[in-house]
């Protein structure tokens, strides 16, 4: 099967490309590299060559913006003519900074929503009717519940989140227009962290990281002098906020399980998380213990719009995808640090 991976050079995309190629899929990446580097895909090739799993690696990389309809059209046409049409799409391409989305909602709606519409229009034209979409747990109305299932209230509090809701709704409408043909999976990720254990690919944010884990690894590397922890007065056992961290390779494998289920023509919306809550202090302590590194921390006040506990109810993912996360927090911390320490400047 020939899979188009939009945003395939990014953090989750590169790990998913690796998992796809290891499973024998052929992969075409379309990425503008606005938030990534082609070297991530060189890393994917290096891992595959080292493991000697595949002789000729079927990976094509195209630098393009998903809003460029002409180019997408040409790409789908080219593959169709070659007798190897694109069979399905895994759609990662998009912008993901909450802060930037508040400052520049126009750009976020254009890239995320218009980009998705353009992609679906071309897919429809070429009768490619299978898509796995990267949604996010940020769309839930945060309420300090024990855990969120797929029927929990949807109430995003920033433009990044509203674009994800809009795309899910749009995909639902597309599905309803022809349920016999479309197969769609909305995957709502919780907090992906870690890296491939080789240390050859990982998360390489441009500028100061906005997520806690790459921030933590940069503190460990001495690039940032301390880790600010927002609030130690939350109603949790140690006062710090709780999140559901999931190893990026588990997340990548979840996409393949979802892709395989799409042959059954349906729409599904599924949480991808571990179902375990970890406080910020537990994360820091685990990182320090497994890597034998001291992390300087400082408690500061809570951030506006933050929430005490965001943990997945992953029952549906386990029952409907036949998938379950396999890697523990210790592995996430070891692999994430290996990537950071071997690649202090990223790619």
3-state secondary structure of 76: helix
User: Residue 255 CB, nearest distance to ligand NAD (Å)?
Assistant: 10
User: Residue 188 CB, nearest distance to ligand NAD (Å)?
Assistant: 8
Inter-residue contact 11 to 204 (CB < 8 Å): yes
Q: Please state whether beta strands 242-243 and 278-279 pair in parallel, antiparallel, or not at all (unpaired).
A: antiparallel
Residue closer to ligand NAD (CB basis): 36 or 279:
36
Which pair of structure tokens corresponds to residue 291? 């890597």
User: Residue 286 CB, nearest distance to ligand NAD (Å)?
Assistant: 19
Residue closer to ligand NAD (CB basis): 11 or 79:
11
Site string for ligand NAD, 4-43 (x = CB under 6 A): --xx-xxxxx----------------xxxxxxx-------
What are phi and psi for residue 236, nearest 5 degrees? -125, 175
* Rounded-to-integer distance, Cα 27 and Cα 321, Å: 22
Residue nearest to ligand NAD (CB): 10
Q: How many residues does the chain have?
A: 347
115 binds ligand NAD (CB under 6 A): yes
Residue closer to ligand NAD (CB basis): 67 or 266:
67
DSSP-derived letter for residue 146 is: S
Site for ligand NAD in 144-163 (CB under 6 A): none
Site string for ligand NAD, 62-101 (x = CB under 6 A): ---xxx------------------------xxxxx-----
Closest listed residue to residue 260, CA positions, set 320, 171, 329: 320
User: Residue 40 CB, nearest distance to ligand NAD (Å)?
Assistant: 8
* Rounded-to-integer distance, Cα 300 and Cα 137, Å: 24
Residue closer to ligand NAD (CB basis): 35 or 240:
35
- 181 forms beta bridges with none
User: Residue 180 CB, nearest distance to ligand NAD (Å)?
Assistant: 28
User: Residue 233 CB, nearest distance to ligand NAD (Å)?
Assistant: 25
Residues 6+ apart with CB under 8 A from 203: 11, 193, 195, 211, 213, 214, 248, 336, 339
Residues 6+ apart with CB under 8 A from 258: 132, 185, 187, 268, 270, 321, 323
User: Residue 31 CB, nearest distance to ligand NAD (Å)?
Assistant: 5
DSSP-derived letter for residue 148 is: B
* Rounded-to-integer distance, Cα 162 and Cα 154, Å: 10
Site string for ligand NAD, 190-219 (x = CB under 6 A): --x------------------x--------
- 189 forms beta bridges with 136, 272
Residues belonging to the active site: 160
Residue closer to ligand NAD (CB basis): 192 or 325:
192
In the block, tokens 């188009």 appear at: 4
Q: Please state whether beta strands 88-91 and 130-136 pair in parallel, antiparallel, or not at all (unpaired).
A: parallel
Residue closer to ligand NAD (CB basis): 227 or 251:
251
Total interface residues for ligand NAD by CB under 6 A: 29
Which stretches within 231-322 are classed as H helix?
Answer: 248-261, 280-291, 315-321
Residue closer to ligand NAD (CB basis): 187 or 297:
187
Site for ligand NAD in 162-191 (CB under 6 A): 189
Binding residues (CB under 6 A) for ligand NAD: these are: 6-7, 9-13, 30-36, 65-67, 92-96, 111, 115, 134, 136, 189, 192, 211
């Amino acid at each position: 099967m020939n899979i188009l991976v939009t945003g395939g050079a990014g953090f989750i995309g590169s790990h998913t490309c690796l998992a796809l190629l290891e499973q024998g899929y052929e992969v075409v990446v379309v990425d503008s590299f606005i938030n990534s580097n082609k070297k991530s895909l060189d890393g994917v090739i290096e891992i595959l060559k080292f493991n000697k799993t595949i002789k000729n690696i079927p990976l094509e990389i195209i630098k393009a913006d998903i809003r460029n309809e002409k180019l997408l059209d040409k790409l789908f046409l080219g593959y169709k003519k070659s007798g190897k049409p694109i069979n399905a799409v895994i759609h990662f391409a998009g912008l993901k900074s909450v802060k930037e989305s508040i400052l520049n909602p126009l750009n976020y709606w254009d890239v995320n929503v218009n980009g998705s519409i353009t992609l679906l229009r071309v897919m429809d034209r070429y009768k490619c009717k299978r898509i796995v979409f990267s949604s996010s747990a940020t769309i839930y109305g945060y309420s300090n519940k024990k855990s969120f299932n797929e029927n929990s209230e949807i109430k995003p509090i920033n433009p990044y989140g509203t674009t994800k809701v809009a795309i899910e709704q749009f995909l639902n409408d597309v599905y309803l227009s022809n349920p016999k043909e479309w197969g769609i999976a909305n995957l709502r990720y919780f907090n992906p962290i870690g890296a491939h254990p080789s240390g050859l690919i990982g998360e390489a944010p441009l500028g100061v990281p906005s997520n806690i884990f790459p921030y933590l690894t940069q503190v460990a590397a001495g690039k940032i002098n301390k880790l600010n922890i927002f609030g130690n007065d939350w109603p949790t056992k140690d006062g710090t906020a709780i999140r559901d961290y999931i190893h990026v390779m588990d997340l990548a494998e979840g996409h393949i399980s979802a892709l395989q289920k799409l042959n059954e023509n349906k729409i599904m919306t599924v949480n991808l998380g571990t179902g375990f809550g970890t406080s910020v202090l537990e994360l820091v302590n685990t990182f320090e213990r497994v890597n034998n590194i001291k992390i300087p921390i400082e408690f500061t006040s809570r951030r506006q719009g933050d929430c005490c506990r965001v943990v997945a109810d992953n029952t549906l993912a386990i029952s409907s995808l036949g998938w379950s996360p396999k890697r523990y927090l210790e592995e996430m911390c070891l692999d994430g640090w290996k990537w950071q320490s071997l690649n202090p400047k990223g790619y």
